[in-house]
Structure 1
């Protein structure tokens, strides 16, 4: 039995993580800390707090889920680790590879578990895709095309604010980059073209498009946006075949999904709750039972690639539009 504490009671905590903890074998949603008491109570914890530190001081809390805006991840995940808690932190774990390195170091020093809540990595289809690619089902991977266009955030949402770690690249771009790195065996890519667009002067990016080259292998074309035209696509081409995911390519779960492998066989996966699988995996890891967790070195690889893309895009322009040319 493990007691969970949530830092934050936003939309994902309410719609996905709280139900997953309530449904998980052996898990208890013990405490939720939020500036909005009503939002905290809506998650049905045993106890609520208006102070994040108050929750961390609660000796009954064993696992902390960090559900705050992106720029707060490192600060509160490290505070939770130093308070002796295991941590499941929303993605992206950190806003840079340097932040991720610091968090990994704190986890190692405290002897507490640190896991990035990249929930789709626990979906059986994602795991099957990664296994098939690792086994060479399409031969040597030569080309990847990935696209994730998500819903436009409401006015005032943190995703508009670069100071809070907002933007399409950190949000939906994360999924496309993670899947692409998995397809190329987690090799380090080189960014050869990158451009971002912005909602308004000083905002975070609303869209990004970039090309990754994997020396000696192949390349990937990736697009992501938060402008409202929803689309999720992912295709891997290799020397021996093509692997493709049915839409939604990254956020499957609520409905059956399909994967067509390099062998031409289409595999069907029933509807599943990946958040519940993720929570159960963390529970099992803490309890010392067999489990599957996303390796922190892969978390860092995604962060390093996002660093490289942002660097290639350069600083945001003064006016609205693209940083170094239209997306096209």
Structure 2
């Protein structure tokens, strides 16, 4: 992998929607040693509004820009794989929005392209860079709550309007792919990235597009279980509870914490340790670590592709499982 230690790292954005303009764009503007060299979007006004050196309506034109070192992909889920592979083959490093691919097969193809090109491919699961997420991983590795027996993960995102791609399965929409990837990742991390067996699934779909509005899944691991609820109904409900044979971990707003303070409750026989985390911008942390990695810093934290693949495989298994019917049980509410 080439390094650019003494030079400015040039970024290019494929996609100029809300996540690019409100999250990663501002993160880069505050990051020394980086420059947004190009942005491409279907709406030339939105692409230009990002403030890049160059704005394009043609994605291929951005990939041909020799001043761009890293391409950030914030397009519909259904084209993540296509444009990531094209960017990698163009010699660019890639930071791609979650979910990395629509399936494990897509993630494998993307990974193969990254290895062939000797370029970085990173899933932009931004909450993974939050200090609390990293702290939870350390606590679990240290065995603070013993062996994990059960994980409950709930994420209810915004209710998209009827024209939003999130309601269209063909565009990679649906609750499981949109917000369920966060919950699946947390569950797998707690179970040391083991592959689960799907024991039960209930899902509801929108009338149009056939994408899932809510998916409830029960998973079994060699040493424990997990429950997942992914939905797009607009309640804003989030929860993560990890139960071990020697204690529990509870996180508030586990998947969207950032610019607000966050908490973690660690309960063991010794008592309750309440950990507080000040506001941070995980997008800025993510952009900084990717930039360090592009410069050749092997200590930079990136979401491992093996873990992105594990999440994709688990979501494949959940989507393949037949639904036992609509979700008739009340949503799980977990409180710290």
TM score, norm. by length of structure 1: 0.95
Mean alpha-carbon deviation: is it higher for 148-157 or for 59-68?
Answer: 148-157
In the alignment, structure 1 residue 244 sits paired with structure 2 residue 250: yes
Mean alpha-carbon deviation: is it higher for 293-302 or for 195-204?
Answer: 195-204
Q: 1:66-145 maps to which residues of 2 (within 5 A)?
A: 66-145=73-152
Asked whether the 8 Å contact 2:37–2:53 carries over to 1, the reply is: yes
Q: Identify the match of residue 7 of structure 1 among 14, 34, 41.
A: 14
For residues 227-269 of structure 1, the C-alpha deviation after alignment (integer angstroms, 9 at most, x for no partner) is 11110001001110011002x1211001110111244211100
Does the residue aligned with 2:321 lie in a helix, a strand or coil?
helix
Cα distance in 2 for partners of 1:96, 1:110 equals 21
Cα distance in 2 for partners of 1:55, 1:202 equals 31
Q: 1:177-256 maps to which residues of 2 (within 5 A)?
A: 177-215=184-222, 217-246=223-252, 248-256=253-261
Cα distance in 2 for partners of 1:160, 1:213 equals 29
Asked whether the 8 Å contact 1:132–1:261 carries over to 2, the reply is: no
Does the residue aligned with 1:265 lie in a helix, a strand or coil?
strand
Asked whether the 8 Å contact 1:137–1:262 carries over to 2, the reply is: no
Cα distance in 2 for partners of 1:173, 1:166 equals 11
**Which residue of 2 is the match for residue 156 of structure 1?**
163
CA RMSD of aligned residues (A): 0.9
Shift of 1:129: 0.6
Shift of 1:201: 4.4
**Which residue of 2 is the match for residue 280 of structure 1?**
288
For residues 63-108 of structure 1, the C-alpha deviation after alignment (integer angstroms, 9 at most, x for no partner) is 0001100010000000000000000000010111111011100000
**Which residue of 2 is the match for residue 305 of structure 1?**
314
Cα distance in 2 for partners of 1:258, 1:73 equals 33
**Which residue of 1 is the match for residue 305 of structure 2?**
296
The gaps in structure 1 that reach 5 residues or longer are 314-322
The gaps in structure 2 that reach 5 residues or longer are 1-7, 329-336
**Which residue of 2 is the match for residue 56 of structure 1?**
63
**Which residue of 2 is the match for residue 326 of structure 1?**
326
Cα distance in 2 for partners of 1:278, 1:212 equals 30
Shift of 1:202: 3.6
Asked whether the 8 Å contact 2:170–2:209 carries over to 1, the reply is: no
May I ask how many residue pairs the two structures share in their alignment? 317
